[in-house]
A = this chain, B = another copy of it.
Amino acid sequence: MTPERDRVVVVGGGFAGLKAVKALAGAEANVTIVDQHNFHTFQPLLYEVATAGMEPADVAYPIRTIFGRQKNVMFRHGLVVGIDTEKREVKLDGDSALPYDYLVVATGAAAGFLGVTGAAQNSRPLYTLADARRLRNDLLLCLEQVDSHPERFDGGAPVFVVVGGGPTGVETAGALMELIDVTVKRDGLKLDRERTRIILLDAADRLLTAFRPTGSKYAEQTLENRHVDIRLEERVAAITPNGVKLQSGEEIKAALVVWAGGVTVSGTLADSLPGPRTRGGRIQVEPDLSLPGHPEIFVVGDAAAVPVGGKSDEITPQLAPVAIQSGHHAGRQIVRRIAGEPPQPFRYVDKGIMATIGRRAAVAQLPVGPIIRGTLGWLAWLGLHLVYLIGFRNRIQVLINWAWRYLDWTSGPRLIMGDVERESDVEMDSEQQSAGVG
């Protein structure tokens, strides 16, 4: 670290934050990346952790190890509690502060419960690694309960409800069905397979609305073939400890409700920044992704209302590719600014979207051409995730895991590690609150 250089602070070690730092690695600046966790979480595979298909360590990677060989990059393990845009300081828990000349805010979003009564208390979101671990513990404990005390369940078998028919909901429902199958087939769990139900709810008239209708159709048929009950055009009125109340008045008794209903930026650290917001609390930014009135601050990823760019006034959805591209752009802009070059507008390049439904079934939609599905879609999905996953070790782990699954061998250690975690709801909640910084 060279003292007289410009100081860049990047808040958040998600996709956007990492890409910003990578764009700054080797630049004439001292870069500090700060996160409340010492690891990056590969969020697209959290549903695998939640359904005991993968281990937390398979989808997490230490930020220090990523940048360990970059001499101008420092990692700081700490919880950011505020940003002082006047003093140009990032405030950390415990009275420390990181001064900056340039700041990249990549604090992400948090699970958004859309104002549904009881959702925060009685359903399990799936946005952070802690969420995924908690959901897994609850699922596995629930299955153990069914085995030892079936009389505690209506009809002697559990009902699981997944709220939200986007990629997270579809992936979770599919993987949950596989988890139940394997615990019965391989682990000798006593469970009335016929009576056990997984219900996937969505307010829209089809699943995966970001896809073209043929993609949605494929996902719906595949899930139905695998015995997931899909209920479309159903709005959730409330979630109680006993299940879900629909706006139609119907009540669904459920052993566990998974919330895959969306994310919000409101209530996260990003609130401490000035300026206008869009729906969901996303921070409006200039075409170069800087904060209006603060050319030294860039907001990227889920926290920002990232413009599509070009001639459009649209903003992009909160997706990993947007985070990656916007993070990279912000890093590049800081390099240019330091070199005295003018800013460039951001332009999102849509490379397509993907979702997996389960073993040998996925759907991929490229900007042009037909929808890719089935085993081919699944392999494409695997390949893409292996490329984006960080760390050689993690890639090997995940590849072994998937090879196993391709062959329909059972894999994934179904360990209930959370006895210890379940008592610490206070800390869990605070983690969720500031989930963005992780």
List the interface of chain A (C-beta within 8 A of B). Answer: 36-39, 55-57, 60-62, 64-65, 67-70, 73-78, 96, 129-130, 133, 140-141, 144, 147-149, 183, 186-189, 391, 393-394, 396-397, 400, 404, 410-411, 413-417, 419-424, 426-428, 431
> What is the CA–CA distance of A415 and B424 in the complex, to the nearest angstrom?
19
> What is the CA–CA distance of A400 and B393 in the complex, to the nearest angstrom?
9
A415: which of B60, B147, B417 is its contact (CB, 8 Å)? B60
Asked if B56 and A417 make an inter-chain contact with CB atoms under 8 angstroms apart, the answer reads yes
Residues in B with CB closer than 8 Å to A428 are: 420
Residues in B with CB closer than 8 Å to A78 are: 148
A64: which of B36, B61, B62, B187 is its contact (CB, 8 Å)? B187
A420-B188 contact given A413-B39, A413-B393, CB 8 Å threshold = no
In the complex this chain forms, how many copies of it are found? 2
Residues in B with CB closer than 8 Å to A144 are: 38, 77
Asked if A420 and B413 make an inter-chain contact with CB atoms under 8 angstroms apart, the answer reads no
A431: which of B76, B96, B416, B420 is its contact (CB, 8 Å)? B420
A64-B421 contact given A148-B78, A188-B75, A400-B396, CB 8 Å threshold = no
- Chain B's closest residue to A396 (CB) is B400
> What is the CA–CA distance of A78 and B144 in the complex, to the nearest angstrom?
9
Asked if B420 and A62 make an inter-chain contact with CB atoms under 8 angstroms apart, the answer reads no
> What is the CA–CA distance of A422 and B187 in the complex, to the nearest angstrom?
31
A140-B187 contact given A421-B424, A423-B426, A427-B423, CB 8 Å threshold = no
